[in-house]
Every structure is written in C-alpha cells, then in structure tokens.
Amino acid sequence: MFIKDKSKYGFQDTVKIVKDFLKSRNFEIFAEIDHRKNAINAGMDMQNETVLIFGSPSSGTLLMEENPEIGIELPAKLLIYSTNNDVYLLYKNPEELIDTYKIRDQKDVLKKLKVLFDNIINTVS
C-alpha cells in the first residue's frame, strides 16, 4: 500500500526540505531522478515529479542478510510530485515488507523506516 500526503510548501521547497531532513539524519541520498527534466530533454513537458532514492547501507545490509530478495525494494524511495498547485509525497509502507519478505530478526529496521517517513511527512505538512 502506498501512503500519500500533501505538502504545505511548493515543489522546490519540499524537495529541499526533504533532502536536508535526510542529510541531517545521516541518510545517504543515492539518486535524485527528475522526471520533468528528463521529459523536457525528450522534447516533452510535464508537471514537477522527482524521486529521491535514499537509505542507510548498514540498515539495508541487515535486511538483505536476512532475506536477499528484499534488495529489490531497497534503497527506500520517495516520490514528490505536483498536480496543478498542489505538492504530494508518496511512498510504499515499509512495514508491509515484513510479511512480504518474512522478515523476523530485523523488523525494527522497517518499523524505524516507517517512522522516518512519518517524520518527513510531518516536516512538510
């Protein structure tokens, strides 16, 4: 299940606030995919849409040691997009991965990731 919430900030400000939040908590931002920029480069246009791919290699490694298949879900992803004048954040609920990948020993890692997403949402909403 995906969780979606609305930001009270504009698109660029939301992206900056989220990136600063992640960096302040020592999460590594592995990639930032700017879908709008890619569309423009292809001669098209669309509203703002960016995916932030981030994580903690030590936490992710613990999960993958328990079940290597969870690697398809990692690192974490957060979509920030605009529709007209509204900005939204969308992410997959990491707690659902506990059952999907039969995570038993490292449940807390995924629960903490859910709390992190909640804190991100609280920062911008």
What mean pLDDT value characterizes the chain? Answer: 97
pLDDT of residue 58: 94
77, 91 contact by CB (below 8 A): yes
117, 1 contact by CB (below 8 A): no
Sequence length of the chain is 125
50, 15 contact by CB (below 8 A): yes
Q: Tell me the pTM.
A: 0.95
Half-sphere exposure of 58 (CA within 13 A, CB side): 2
Q: What is the pLDDT of residues 48-72, one digit of tens each?
A: 999 999 999 999 999 999 999 999 9
- Copy the structure tokens of residue 114: 């859910």
Using 50, 70 and 90 to split pLDDT, how confident is the model at 89?
Answer: very high
pLDDT of residue 80: 98
pLDDT of residue 42: 97
Q: What is the pLDDT averaged over residues 6-20? A: 98
Q: What is d(CA 120, CA 77) in angstroms, rounded to the nearest whole number?
A: 12
